[in-house]
Amino acid sequence: MQGLAMGVPTVKLTFTSWILQANAWLDLSVFTQANKAKFQNKTHTDLTEGKFIVDIDLLKGEICAFKIHGQEAPFEAEVLNRTSGEGVLRARGPIDCEQQKEYTFIIQAYDCGASPSGTNWKKSHKAVVHIQVDDVNEFSPVFREPLYRATVTEGKIYDSILQVEAWDQDCSPQYSQICNYEIVTQDTPFAIDRNGNIRNTERLSYDKQQHYKIMVTAYDCGQKRAMESVPVHIDVKPVCKPGWQGWNKRVDYEPGTGSKQLFPKMHLETCDGPLSSVRAMVELQTSHIGKGCDRETYSEKSLQKLCGAASGSTDLLPAPSASTNWTASLLTDSGRDSDLIFRFDGRQAANIPEWVVPQNLTDQFTIATWMKHGPSPGLRAEKETLLCNSDKTEMNRHHYSLYVHNCRLVFLLRRDFIQLDSFRPAEFHWRLEQICDKEWHYYVINVEFPSVTLFVDGVTYEPYLVTDDWPIHPSEIDVQLTVGACWQGGEVTTPRFTQYFRGSLSGLTIRPGKIATQKVISCLQACKEGLDISSLESLGKGIKFHFNPAQSVLVMEADDLESINTAMTKVSYINSRQFPTPGLRKLHITTTVQCFGEDTCISIPDIKAMVMVLPPSEPRITIAGVERLVWPAAQLRAPIGVALFKDIHIISTVTKTDATLSIGDR
């Protein structure tokens, strides 16, 4: 026993909650100020009672009552034997440890006093009673969550994938604490410790199994099991690899359907890298389709007519025929007969007949051609001549020529001498990547002497170098116009070709007296198929994009992942030709990711895909009507007559509309 304030002794009683038959003992001592009275009982009793004996020698009489101070205490004391001072302390109702674990109150003993009414009763000193309630394991563990989820990466062993947690309503440490967890599901690659941490016991494979569902139970320290097990779902994800996801390698395109999205579900995976910007370049490769960008649908003459080009141009590379036999010996690639592609391998060239050569090249004229050319072989490459007008015999003067030298395009123009002529511009040089990139490009040279302007795919380029020379003195020597090389008629024993061209040409024309306008040039090189962006307004301000003039290359830049992902889903392919050349168009996507403070932090693999242009439906016009018309003879003799083609229907698959035609009134 431990004394409290003013020397009051402590009385302790222990009960077992909610059980009516349980062992308890009471040790109660009562003191007066001068004398010591003892009453004890250590016999076994039930929960609701605690007996005690009061030594009445010093109280001079019998014990008649015990009084508990404090109405909140759910206990009462009763005298069992007045003479011996034996009493009992019982609870007035069930005691619940979960509601209250212990009670403390004060008790006093009273003698019977001088009269039966209790007047002048003497009372003992106050004693403190402290009661502790023993717990019973009546509650089962309960999990704090109805379901647990986690995601793991394949091939990795985790110390802890996730932690489950249960709790218990019991009041004592023995029964309220969770001492053990157990995985109920059999044959799983997981284990759980006593703190609820779940780990994998082997390396998981995404290809083998992508999802696991296991059941877990819990035990309190009294080994009472949870009434319900909790489900745990564990997803296995593949090892994160940076790159574009959600795209198809092949996209089919049906002619006449307009614009079609190429990557509607595409998104970039950076594996949570701290990126600061993303740059993606989408390239549509169409150079292998006809003469680049599917332009073989129309011949160059037809295109010039459609684009409103001025008449009077001379075609120097027509399809070979009886009247145009100078191209018969040249190598040709696949293409329409009306607009062949001529391939020069450094050994072929053609002399243009005199009756074909454009006459009267004044200070204004235009030279145009399609050209595909690669780097010249050798360290010191020779000139490669596309077009050359030189002396036919005796001398070797070049009057005008167009040639390639070390990936530079050079146009030479030496005018005839007149009395006032002096040193004048003669050679115009351009250094461009397109000249040697092995792709088709459309070149137009507008001459307004002394100014010469080059257009490549509709874009203007001024010469980076212009060199001067003296005019050519007039002579009686005839000139020879050649394609694919330059004719060397003088200063050699045998006249021959020199400075051969290596590449492909198509649609080489000269138009004297006029220059091509920017509008016509743009129309001639305009691409009927290319890349497009649908719903430009949905891109937002976080994306920057740029097309090349042919719309075959699209470059996009963004500062965040969401913007570039949205932009890529809007990239489309469009082909406005009604009958495009069927076949594949290659797609190439390169991506650069920049992180904070670093040039390139994440390497994104390039993507190679394709657009498959399906064969267009063959155009068909169907005329339908009744096979036989019958009228009475009287009606045929009438002045009005009959309509013969009243029910004729003409159906065209080209315009996809039906038309009804009535031919005549009779």
Q: How confident is the model at residue 636 (pLDDT cuts 50, 70, 90)?
A: low
Which is the CATH superfamily of the domain at 142-237?
Cadherins (2.60.40.60)
Residue 581 pLDDT exceeds 50: yes
State the residue for tokens 């038309």: 659
3-class secondary-structure state, position 307: coil
pLDDT at 71: 63
Distance CA 289, CA 580 (A): 10
pLDDT at 349: 93
HSE, side-chain direction, 13 A CA sphere, residue 251: 24
pLDDT at 519: 77
**Among the listed residues 611, 564, 604, the one whose alpha carbon sits nearest the alpha carbon of residue 583:** 611
Residue 329 pLDDT exceeds 80: yes
3-class secondary-structure state, position 568: helix
Q: How confident is the model at residue 114 (pLDDT cuts 50, 70, 90)?
A: low
**Among the listed residues 44, 35, 52, 58, the one whose alpha carbon sits nearest the alpha carbon of residue 15:** 44
pLDDT at 538: 66
Strands (DSSP E) along 286-418, which ranges? 314-315, 331-333, 341-345, 350-352, 364-373, 384-391, 398-405, 408-413
pLDDT at 60: 47
Which is the CATH superfamily of the domain at 37-134?
Cadherins (2.60.40.60)
Percentage of the chain exceeding pLDDT 90: 30
Task: Tell me the mean pLDDT in the region 375-400.
Answer: 83
In this predicted structure, which of 38-47, 296-305, 307-316, 405-414 has the lowest mean pLDDT?
38-47
Please name the CATH architecture into which domain 243-286+528-613 falls. Sandwich (2.60)
HSE, side-chain direction, 13 A CA sphere, residue 135: 19
Residue 643 pLDDT exceeds 90: no
263-266 long-range contacts (CB < 8 A, ≥24 apart) are 263/568, 263/569, 263/571, 264/569, 265/569, 266/565, 266/568, 266/569
Give CATH 2.60.120.200 domain extents, the chain: 300-525
> pLDDT, tens digit, for every residue of 350-382?
999 989 888 767 778 999 998 999 887 665 678
State the residue for tokens 């020698």: 57
> pLDDT, tens digit, for every residue of 245-303?
999 999 999 988 888 999 999 999 888 777 888 999 999 987 666 555 665 555 666 76
pLDDT at 297: 58
Whole-prediction pTM value? 0.51
**Among the listed residues 39, 48, 109, the one whose alpha carbon sits nearest the alpha carbon of residue 74:** 48
Q: How confident is the model at residue 417 (pLDDT cuts 50, 70, 90)?
A: low
**Per-chain mean pLDDT for the chain:** 79
Residue 121 pLDDT exceeds 90: no
Strand partners, 260: 573
CATH number listed for the domain at residues 300-525? 2.60.120.200
Task: Tell me the mean pLDDT in the region 318-333.
Answer: 87
**Higher pLDDT pick, 333 / 665:** 333
308: amino acid identity, one letter: G
Residue 244 pLDDT exceeds 90: yes
Give CATH 2.60.40.60 domain extents, the chain: 37-134, 142-237
Residue 26 pLDDT exceeds 60: no
> pLDDT, tens digit, for every residue of 441-457?
889 999 988 889 999 88
> pLDDT, tens digit, for every residue of 181-218?
999 999 999 999 999 999 999 999 998 999 999 999 99
Task: Tell me the mean pLDDT in the region 556-560.
Answer: 90
Q: How confident is the model at residue 15 (pLDDT cuts 50, 70, 90)?
A: very low
pLDDT at 25: 30
Residue 663 pLDDT exceeds 50: no
Residue 235 pLDDT exceeds 60: yes
How far is Cα of residue 556 from the mean position of the Cα atoms in its chain?
Answer: 13
**Higher pLDDT pick, 93 / 152:** 152
Task: Tell me the mean pLDDT in the region 72-80.
Answer: 83
pLDDT at 263: 93
Tokens of residue 252, six digits: 């089919």
